[in-house]
Structure 1
Amino acid sequence: MDCTILNSDLLGGLPAMTLDDEHVGVDDLHSASESDSDGEFTKNRKPRCPEFHNESDSLNPQFEKGMIFGDKDTLKQAFRQYGIKNRVDVRFKTICNKKVQAVCKEGCPWYLWASRFDPKDKSNLAWQIKAYVREHQCMMSFKNRNATYKWLAKTYIEKYKADPTYSSRLLKKDVMADHVYNVSYGKCLRAKHLALEMVLESHKEQYSMIYDYLGEIRQTNPGSTTIMMLDERVFIRMYICLQSCKDGYKAGCRSVLNIDGCHLKGYYGGTFLAVVVVVAVDANDNIYPLAYAIVEAENQSSWSWFLSLLGTDLEIRSLENITILSDKQKGLVEAISEVFPCAEHRTCVRYLYSNFKNSENFKGKNLKDALWKATRATYVKEFEDAMAELKALSVPTFDWLKGKDPTKWSRSHFSPRSKCDMLLSNLSECFNKMILDARDKPILTLMEMKVESAIQQCTRCWPTHAGGQKYQVSAGPLNQHAIDMEHDECLNYA
């Protein structure tokens, strides 16, 4: 079909239209004799062409012949929104730089044809509907090609602003309730990823800002250690230890380190598997974060790299009295032996018990109580009595536990060097719970959410003068999140 003439047969009986008719502009539709000054109109004056206003008409577009759009993209967006709002599966039949032709389902007379408002004026981007048949004779559909994942992301972005954990299943349910459309789960998942990127910025873009982010840390907290490892300009690892955390550890923390890792759940979660956290114990037995890193995987290489940097920052020498408490993370035991050969390494008893109860022969409350009695024993004779009770209950259980080095899990065999009888790695587990909401965020958002969490906690505190240069810090009521964390911690110790 020639783009200069529209055949009337293709328009379903509509009169043919040439490009000469397309040149008729808004000003040409007015009589030359009209006068705006005296308010009088001639009988021959024609009405102005209707215009599409993006702000007011975009949610529920209504088309008519002669309507003018600011540009082609505005026309296309209005067309798709029209199909979604009216639950009709309209589609573009022809779309090019000269014209747009849209139809509905086969057998439905609905039709729209538009072209450039003034093809000769390249600076004028406006488009105009030249032919339009309003009537529909098709059934409303539960599926619509115009309800794309991009439209879903834009429509429901406020949901993700309010709750970044808003799930794809809830999105699918809400689309059915709001628009009566049955969209696929895969489309909802793509919409979720796009919406989160729109809200939290692009994941990929944040990796390009890591260098500046680390530089800002060094500038605002001089002396801080920030290291980023690249492989052919591809991000591999990142390590951060703030100078204020180093000073606090050296000034008042015990020589006990809780070390743990947790998996990331973000867009690149398949590549960046672990976030490594070190938690120390201060004089009040509170959590004191020291250093953290993001690595490509949990293995001996990444653990050794992390522990070596940590030992340098905290000035932990091979002969220093240091106690490390951890689970048996993949490669961690070997890395500790390599980097800190003289350190006392303890295994979290909860991890030991989880392996204990998974065996079919080691089940039952009596066996559980006997195990915990042995771990809590404070001297060797008490430990031996507890093991004798365990042997009387189950010989296989006794043999299994006897094969575990008691210096790693029983208080009766702990070294007095650290002056700490901690059995569980609850401190690092609580820290992991604090950052749970951040683990699926882009890398810099994840880092900043931890800082924001600390700032929010500080807002509950206020100093009171206690004489001289001393102040006592008081704290306001705990929020529900902190209450839940303390409750969980009590359950874990129980």
Structure 2
Amino acid sequence: MAVVPHEEELATNPIDVEGEDRDEFHIARLAETFMEGEESIQHDVYPESDEDEDENGPPRLTNITRGDGSLYKNQPFYNGIAFKEAVTDYVLMTGCNLKQYRYDKDKIGFKCVGSEKCEWQVYAASLPRDPMWRIRLIKDVHVCIPNGECEMFKVPVIARLFVDKIRDNPDYYLPAKIEEIILENWKISVTRPQCQSARRKALQWIELEYDMQFSRLRDYGAEILDANKDSVVVIDTVTSEDGKELFNRFYVCFDVLRRTWKDSCRPILGVDGCFLKHKIKGQLLVALGRDADNAIYPIAWSVVQVENTENWLWFVQRLKIDLGLNDGDGFIMISDRQKGLIRAVELELPKIEHRMCVRHIYANLKKNHASKKQMKPLIWNLAWSYNEAQFKQRLERIFAYDTVVYDEVMKSNPRRWCRAFYKIGNYCEDVDNNFTESFNKTINKAREKPFVAMLEMVRRLAMIRIAKRLDLAYSHKGICTPYVKKFLAKEHKIAAACKVSSSTNGMFEVRVSGDTHRVSLKKYTCTCMKYQICGIPCEHAYGVILNKKLTPEDYVCQWFRTNMWKRNYAEGIVPQRGARFWPISEGGSVDVPPDPAQTGRKKITKADKKRKKGVNESPTKKQPKQKKRIMHCRVCGSAEHNSRFHKKQNQPQAAQVDPSQGCITEEN
């Protein structure tokens, strides 16, 4: 503490202090004394005071933390569980063999059983006059040597040690790995069954925790809106007969994702659904876009119980409102041929260009024509036709190959999945929905997690992806994205063989492989139509660029420029807080719904695999084996016994056989 100088001290000071000089001297001495005693500011440290000091030991009030393994007399704890955790930390630090010998509600004790002569003991209790749990007795002297055995290291203790690690990576922390870590880190030997039971118990705790998070689904939605302003979160529930709010549907669209897609992405939507694999069954529906490098850009996702027309209509309606699709004019949607989705798009987005995925079309054809191996290149080449002349030529090849296949192709309406009939101006050549399938594969691990953990993992993957793609975009030095370089590299060989003839108004005639095409670099067009559909010079336009020694990047549309790529990832999803910090929202808790009736083929059970009975076989169940046949005595015909038993019963008595009666009779 700062001490004010006394007058006696001033009198002995050789400096002459009078009047105002005396006051300045006092101030200087006070400042010097204060600076000598000043300590640096520290956060999260309890300040010390005189009344906290205890002559018999450490301060009475200390910062209760776990992990140091220290135990001392009068050490305080909030409850008995905290005391047990402190003893556990002591065991982890020392490796001593402790055992709990007191289990009362307000009294807990541990002793060392490593040796009969070891008197180490610790005892904590909560007393009426002092309700705070404290260590009342401790004998901190060991005479035993740790040998890797510890009786208190039971299943619950192991489960508490590894519950956080199992939550983060359940596939890595298997029983064998847990056993190895315990022996390596703390030199304590446990059995494999103990680790297996501990892992099972930890998973039960985690499951209970996730169930509580699901009941707070509305609070989770409030946290999304709190961290990411102007986002859209819809939680749809239905009321059961007993008044519970059962989960029905969930939808989220982050504001930054929809704004970025509308501002700097091509008007393309890939839509698909995939199954959830945890306790709460259902379908995860996703809507994805394409960035300037032609990679995946997530937009929105939803969870519904069943993939039917009603739920697809609800999802498409949400996308229509949030993305401003209106009637769909000027936009592209790519999906499989799910009937509910097709119907929903027809109702809500009648003018959208709805492309069918060729992979699903070919898969359906393959079911009926599995032996026709040459069908695959014919179907895909038809889909890749850039103009109507190519389309007709390749369609004739299918007709020449197999008329049955040709009829089925025509029934699928190939104008819905062939490039030759795509609308010009959107610059997307996709004929399949591979990028949504790729996204579903990326989130495969997430789909195995509980509901809220699954949603959080999808959000976190999208957030991390945006951050990584931003680094790639800013580290790229070219005018156009890497996708353009790969695209032109495939065309270089044909482009180099092109013969170019100039015309007026920036027009060129290009001859290659017996074909002739008209190219206009000013209008970004070619009569092969590939340039207009892709937005990147086709082999004919690239041949003109090579012939005139021009810069290829100058003739690529704006959607594939590096500046546009940077705009794709200029903003990202804001990180969110954990469940402990979620805000309390209005509305009650959300309960788990019953498993929905999934569409598709019924799962084959063991009962379905039983042998089918024949036509003349009795349909009734056979009688038990003991009732199937009743034994009779062949001597007397009675059903009470057999012949062997009959003879033994009558052996002591003199008997004779009456041939006429066929049984044994006694003599008179």
* Structures share fold, TM-score greater than 0.5: yes
Measured after TM superposition, the shift of residue 61 of structure 1 is 8.7
- Listed one character per residue, the Cα deviations across residues 329-380 of structure 1 (whole Å, up to 9, x for unaligned) are 573233223323444422222233344456672463x332222122223345
Q: Which moved more, 1:324-333 or 1:302-311?
A: 324-333
Residue 237 of structure 1 aligns with an amino acid whose one-letter code is: R
Aligned length: 407
In the aligned structure 1, how far is the partner of 2:120 from the partner of 2:337? 67
Q: Which moved more, 1:271-280 or 1:390-399?
A: 390-399
In the aligned structure 2, how far is the partner of 1:57 from the partner of 1:302? 49
1:277 matched to 2:289? The reply is no
Q: Are the counterparts in 2 of residues 149 and 188 from structure 1 also a CA contact under 8 Å?
A: no
Distance 1:420 1:113, change over 3 A: closer
Aligned equivalent of 2:268, options 217, 240, 256: 256
Aligned equivalent of 2:349, options 327, 340, 347: 340
Q: Are the counterparts in 2 of residues 271 and 297 from structure 1 also a CA contact under 8 Å?
A: no
Q: Are the counterparts in 1 of residues 158 and 198 from structure 2 also a CA contact under 8 Å?
A: no
Counterpart for residue 351 of structure 1: 360
Rg comparison, structure with higher value:
2
Q: Are the counterparts in 1 of residues 108 and 125 from structure 2 also a CA contact under 8 Å?
A: no
Q: Are the counterparts in 2 of residues 229 and 237 from structure 1 also a CA contact under 8 Å?
A: yes
Q: Are the counterparts in 2 of residues 88 and 104 from structure 1 also a CA contact under 8 Å?
A: yes
Counterpart for residue 483 of structure 1: none
SS in 2 for 1:331: helix
Measured after TM superposition, the shift of residue 263 of structure 1 is 4.4
Distance 1:207 1:131, change over 3 A: same
Distance 1:264 1:90, change over 3 A: farther
1:213 matched to 2:223? The reply is yes
Counterpart for residue 199 of structure 2: 188
In the aligned structure 1, how far is the partner of 2:112 from the partner of 2:272? 59
| Structure 2, unaligned runs of 5 or more | 1-54, 184-188, 240-244, 480-560, 567-668
Q: Are the counterparts in 2 of residues 237 and 296 from structure 1 also a CA contact under 8 Å?
A: yes
In the aligned structure 1, how far is the partner of 2:252 from the partner of 2:471? 24
Kindly report which structure 2 residues correspond to 1:295-314, keeping only aligned pairs within 5 A, or say none.
295-314=304-323
Q: Which moved more, 1:309-318 or 1:71-80?
A: 71-80
SS in 2 for 1:423: coil
Residue 382 of structure 2 aligns with an amino acid whose one-letter code is: A
Kindly report which structure 2 residues correspond to 1:51-130, keeping only aligned pairs within 5 A, or say none.
70-71=76-77, 72-77=80-85, 95-97=103-105, 99-100=107-108, 119=127, 121-123=129-131, 125-128=133-136
Q: Are the counterparts in 1 of residues 264 and 564 from structure 2 also a CA contact under 8 Å?
A: no
In the aligned structure 1, how far is the partner of 2:391 from the partner of 2:74? 88
In the aligned structure 2, how far is the partner of 1:256 from the partner of 1:118? 67
Distance 1:316 1:104, change over 3 A: same
Q: Are the counterparts in 2 of residues 153 and 191 from structure 1 also a CA contact under 8 Å?
A: yes
Residue 434 of structure 2 aligns with an amino acid whose one-letter code is: N
SS in 2 for 1:291: strand
Distance 1:296 1:405, change over 3 A: same
Residue 174 of structure 1 aligns with an amino acid whose one-letter code is: K
In the aligned structure 2, how far is the partner of 1:289 from the partner of 1:120? 60
Q: Are the counterparts in 1 of residues 106 and 126 from structure 2 also a CA contact under 8 Å?
A: no
Q: Are the counterparts in 1 of residues 391 and 420 from structure 2 also a CA contact under 8 Å?
A: yes
Residue 368 of structure 1 aligns with an amino acid whose one-letter code is: K
Measured after TM superposition, the shift of residue 304 of structure 1 is 0.7
Counterpart for residue 173 of structure 1: 176
In the aligned structure 2, how far is the partner of 1:418 from the partner of 1:474? 15
Measured after TM superposition, the shift of residue 407 of structure 1 is 2.5
Counterpart for residue 228 of structure 1: 235
Aligned equivalent of 1:427, options 423, 428, 435: 435
In the aligned structure 2, how far is the partner of 1:78 from the partner of 1:246? 50
Could you state the TM-score of these two structures normalised by the residue count of structure 2?
A: 0.47
- Give the percent of matched residue pairs that are identical in Structure 1 and Structure 2: 19
Q: Are the counterparts in 1 of residues 102 and 109 from structure 2 also a CA contact under 8 Å?
A: yes
Residue 326 of structure 1 aligns with an amino acid whose one-letter code is: S
SS in 1 for 2:177: helix
| Structure 1, unaligned runs of 5 or more | 1-35, 37-46, 477-494
Counterpart for residue 457 of structure 1: 469
Distance 1:128 1:436, change over 3 A: same
Q: Are the counterparts in 1 of residues 270 and 433 from structure 2 also a CA contact under 8 Å?
A: yes
Distance 1:190 1:325, change over 3 A: farther
Residue 191 of structure 1 aligns with an amino acid whose one-letter code is: A
Q: Are the counterparts in 2 of residues 273 and 295 from structure 1 also a CA contact under 8 Å?
A: yes
Measured after TM superposition, the shift of residue 278 of structure 1 is 2.0
Measured after TM superposition, the shift of residue 146 of structure 1 is 3.9
In the aligned structure 2, how far is the partner of 1:298 from the partner of 1:197? 28
Structure number with greater CO (CA < 8 Å, separation at least 6) is: 2
Distance 1:412 1:432, change over 3 A: same
Distance 1:436 1:307, change over 3 A: same
In the aligned structure 2, how far is the partner of 1:447 from the partner of 1:363? 43
Q: Are the counterparts in 1 of residues 253 and 301 from structure 2 also a CA contact under 8 Å?
A: yes
Measured after TM superposition, the shift of residue 285 of structure 1 is 4.9
- Listed one character per residue, the Cα deviations across residues 309-342 of structure 1 (whole Å, up to 9, x for unaligned) are 2223344344734432112457323322332344
In the aligned structure 1, how far is the partner of 2:427 from the partner of 2:57? 88
Counterpart for residue 383 of structure 2: 375
Residue 178 of structure 2 aligns with an amino acid whose one-letter code is: V
Q: Are the counterparts in 1 of residues 258 and 299 from structure 2 also a CA contact under 8 Å?
A: yes
Q: Are the counterparts in 2 of residues 169 and 185 from structure 1 also a CA contact under 8 Å?
A: no
SS in 2 for 1:301: helix
Residue 154 of structure 1 aligns with an amino acid whose one-letter code is: L
SS in 2 for 1:361: coil
- Listed one character per residue, the Cα deviations across residues 214-235 of structure 1 (whole Å, up to 9, x for unaligned) are 54367x45xx544333445555
Distance 1:78 1:289, change over 3 A: closer
Distance 1:176 1:116, change over 3 A: closer
Counterpart for residue 148 of structure 1: 155
Could you state the TM-score of these two structures normalised by the residue count of structure 1?
A: 0.61
1:203 matched to 2:210? The reply is no
Measured after TM superposition, the shift of residue 240 of structure 1 is 3.8
Distance 1:116 1:462, change over 3 A: closer
Distance 1:287 1:475, change over 3 A: closer
Residue 413 of structure 2 aligns with an amino acid whose one-letter code is: D
- Listed one character per residue, the Cα deviations across residues 270-289 of structure 1 (whole Å, up to 9, x for unaligned) are 32633332233567755554
Counterpart for residue 249 of structure 2: 237
SS in 1 for 2:360: helix
Distance 1:285 1:279, change over 3 A: same
Measured after TM superposition, the shift of residue 449 of structure 1 is 4.6
Measured after TM superposition, the shift of residue 236 of structure 1 is 3.9
